[in-house]
Amino acid sequence: MFLGVVSDTHGDIERTRAAVAMLEGFEIAAVLHCGDIGSAEIVPLFRRWPTHFVFGNCDYDCRPLEKAIERERQTCRQRFGSLELESQKIAFLHGDDSRLLRETVASGQWDMVCHGHTHVACQEWHGNTLVLNPGAVHRANPHSIAVVELPARTVHVLEI
């Protein structure tokens, strides 16, 4: 199964549409949005898949985002989310709270920790935990998203 991981859309509808079009090339089972959504207009772009959203430090007014997520029957996890897919325990957060990010990674209870915030795609192993930042849809060079093949945790970073 494939998991889409995006972050830092910052309300950039055109670039987010391009990212969604890239995801459509895979048999995506679910999408994680790791925060800094930016505007309620971003949420419906992900309606094709079950999508789990967390908020980032630039999501100042969360109420319209919550309403959009609810309207689309998607999942709002506030500032920290977790789920299990293909027997893989996955945590996701924005990453602006560096202490929470470090503690989540160091806990050893997750197979994968996904985050955004830095606008730089990166994947690192900490013991048996894959830490993945898909990069950013907006305000990045290059702009990127990630697709993760589960349960193997094989990461494909895709430039938009």
Q: Looking at residue 138, which CATH number applies to its domain?
A: 3.60.21.10
Q: What share of the chain in percent tops pLDDT 70? A: 100
- Containing H/E element for 99? helix 98-106
Domain count, the chain: 1
Look up residue 134 and give its two tokens.
């898909």
When pLDDT is cut at 50, 70 and 90, the band that residue 121 belongs to is very high
The pLDDT value recorded for residue 87 is: 97
| Beta carbons of 137 and 116 less than 8 angstroms apart | no
**Mean predicted confidence (pLDDT) in 134-158:** 97
Q: Which residues of 44-71 are buried (b: 16+ CB within 10 A; e: fewer)?
A: ebbeebebbbbbbebbeeeeebbebbee
For the segment 38-97, what is each residue's pLDDT rounded down to a tens digit?
999 999 999 999 999 999 999 999 999 999 999 999 999 999 999 999 999 999 999 999
Nearest to 149 by CA among 138, 158, 137, 140: 158
**Mean predicted confidence (pLDDT) in 102-117:** 97
| pTM (2 d.p.) | 0.96
Range of the domain at 16: 2-159
